[in-house]
Amino acid sequence: MRFGVVVFPGSNCDADAYYAIRDVLQQPVEYIWHQDNDLHGVDCVILPGGFSYGDYLRCGAIARFSPVMQAVEEFARQGGLVIGICNGFQILCEAHLLPGALVRNEGLRFVCKHVYLRVENADTPFTNRCRAGEVLRIPIAHGEGRYVCDRETLQELQANNQILFRYCDSNGALTKESNPNGSLANIAGIANERFNVMGMMPHPERACEAILGSEDGLKIFHSIVHSALAAAR
């Protein structure tokens, strides 16, 4: 399975994602420059974390108009797998590939620490190697990671099981204290209606080796590979 990691001016987790795929997952991967309009035949696109275009206008708002995003949008429309991590999540929302928006953290401070996530839907290309209700330990690093949407959108997300991850405590309980940024309904990650596009604030690529404090992020990447292999069969 071939992965492509999109690189925007200001991306700072592209190398982390590349390393996780190539050296840990041991899958083919290549960088895709933001000015490319060709995804080079990859099977999964990763929009990594960082500060695309310096976040000078609004997180992800400028990157959404990069030439590569036209190719990403077409790829997603055709059913291709796309995962946006942190800034990548923001870009997917700005591009309207995912509903809602990411705004300043409730405490107005940058937060960088390990958090716990409860898997809400384990029947997707991004979570099939997890169990529903399983608690993962994955780090966050963001200042504008508070997920918000209107009431109707939240109801649709809940009704369609599009909420894939919620912030929780170590026992899986959804509490205000376990919500690091004040996200609506403790939301940490969502998918589109077709479940081929997923955005999440936590960084699974930073939780792929025990030396980093957790290997739970690998379950997400293994899910993607398993899904692609199953589709090929």
Enzyme catalytic residues: 86, 203, 205
* CA dist., res. 40 & res. 187, Å (int): 33
Q: From the centroid of its chain, how far is CA 111?
A: 17
> What's the CA gap between 70 and 177, in Å, rounded?
39
In sequence order, which residues have a C-beta less than 8 Å from that of residue 145 and are 6 or more positions away?
A: 86, 102, 105, 111, 180, 181, 183, 201
**Sheet holding 187-191: strands in order across?**
29-33, 3-7, 44-47, 81-85, 197-200, 187-191, 163-168, 111-119, 135-142
Query: What is the rounded end-to-end Cα distance, in angstroms, of the chain?
Result: 13
Look up residue 156 and give its two tokens: 């649709």
Alpha-helical runs (H) found in the chain: 14-19, 67-77, 87-94, 151-159, 218-232
**111, HSE (Cβ side, Cα atoms, 13 Å):** 22
Strand partners, 141: 112
Radius of gyration of the chain (CA): 16
